[in-house]
């Protein structure tokens, strides 16, 4: 991060022209232009004025530290680092925080994007939020290589109330290996109902089955029998779940 790039970014985010910035701190437009071109640098008095104007420290202004202030909206450098943090906040969090670049970057906001992202909507290699997308995602709704969610999870490994994945664990699960209360998959292991190539549950529907009530998936015309068995053993089962397994 270099001073000239930081100054351009801060000025634009504050909505100032070079002339307006010069008026704010008592220099000409040409002086500001030379600063931004890297031809000259401000003296200490002007650095102090700039840091006060943008509400950041001098070290942050000249690029020795990453800016953290509420008014610091973005950072870019020649190494590919980028950060955007909105002025507007919600309960102390910026509405948008994007932090990208080499190595591990951490973003925290209502909408967060970074290597490690935390927010209501989060996108990152590791993400935490109400809606999370990433290699490892944790949230109310999560999608990722490994997804863990309170409500819905989808991924190679998915854990959630409703889980969809290569390996799915939860209340209602669909996957190659599916483990849940209600399970559908190549290998389906259920507490109540399971349906798949291999199925084990109190009510099991599959090619190979293990359970109290077993149905051969290859036999047609069993829908009503399966429904009757589910309602007999589990009378409070939701109708759409009954239809899903009896189909």
Q: Based on the structure, what is the number of domains in the chain?
A: 3
Residues 63 and 154 grouped into a single domain: no
Give 3-state DSSP helix, strand, coil % of the chain, rounded to 5. 25, 45, 30
Residues 215 and 160 grouped into a single domain: yes
Share of the chain above pLDDT 90, in %: 60
HEC letters along 95-162? CEEEEECCCCCEEECCEEECCEEECCEEECCEEEEEEEEEEEEEEEEEEEEEEEEEEEEEEEEEEEEE
Residues 165 and 92 grouped into a single domain: no
Residues 29 and 6 grouped into a single domain: yes
Q: Are 151 and 143 in contact (CB under 8 A)?
A: no
Instruction: Note the pLDDT tens digit of each residue in 92-125.
Output: 888 888 887 777 888 889 999 989 999 999 999 9
Instruction: Note the pLDDT tens digit of each residue in 51-86.
Output: 888 888 888 787 665 555 444 444 444 445 677 777
Round to whole Å and give the CA distance between 56 and 2. Answer: 15
2: DSSP letter: -
Residues 16 and 37 grouped into a single domain: yes
Round to whole Å and give the CA distance between 150 and 139. Answer: 7
Residues 89 and 63 grouped into a single domain: no
């Amino acid at each position: 991060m270099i001073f000239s790039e930081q100054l351009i970014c801060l000025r634009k985010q504050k909505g100032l022209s070079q002339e307006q910035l010069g008026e704010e701190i008592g220099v000409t437009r040409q002086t500001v232009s030379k600063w931004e071109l890297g031809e000259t640098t401000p003296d200490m008095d002007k650095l102090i004025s700039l840091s006060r104007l943008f509400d950041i420290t001098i070290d942050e202004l000249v690029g020795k530290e990453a800016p953290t202030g509420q008014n610091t909206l973005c950072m870019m450098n020649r190494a590919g680092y980028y950060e955007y943090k909105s002025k507007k906040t919600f309960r102390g969090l910026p509405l948008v925080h994007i932090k990208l670049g080499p190595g591990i970057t951490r973003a925290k906001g209502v909408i967060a994007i970074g290597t490690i992202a935390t927010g209501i909507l989060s996108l990152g290699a590791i993400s935490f939020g109400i809606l999370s997308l990433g290699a490892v995602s944790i949230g109310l709704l999560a999608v990722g290589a490994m997804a863990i969610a309170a409500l819905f999870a989808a991924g190679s490994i998915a854990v959630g109330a409703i889980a969809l994945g290569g390996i799915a664990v939860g209340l209602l699960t669909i996957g190659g290996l599916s483990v849940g209360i209600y399970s559908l998959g190549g290998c389906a292991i259920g507490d109540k109902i399971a349906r798949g190539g291999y199925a084990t549950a109190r009510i099991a529907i599959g090619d190979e089955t293990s359970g109290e009530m077993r149905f051969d998936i290859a036999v047609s015309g069993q829908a009503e029998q399966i429904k009757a068995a589910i309602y007999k053993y589990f009378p409070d089962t939701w109708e759409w779940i009954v239809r899903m397994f009896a189909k």
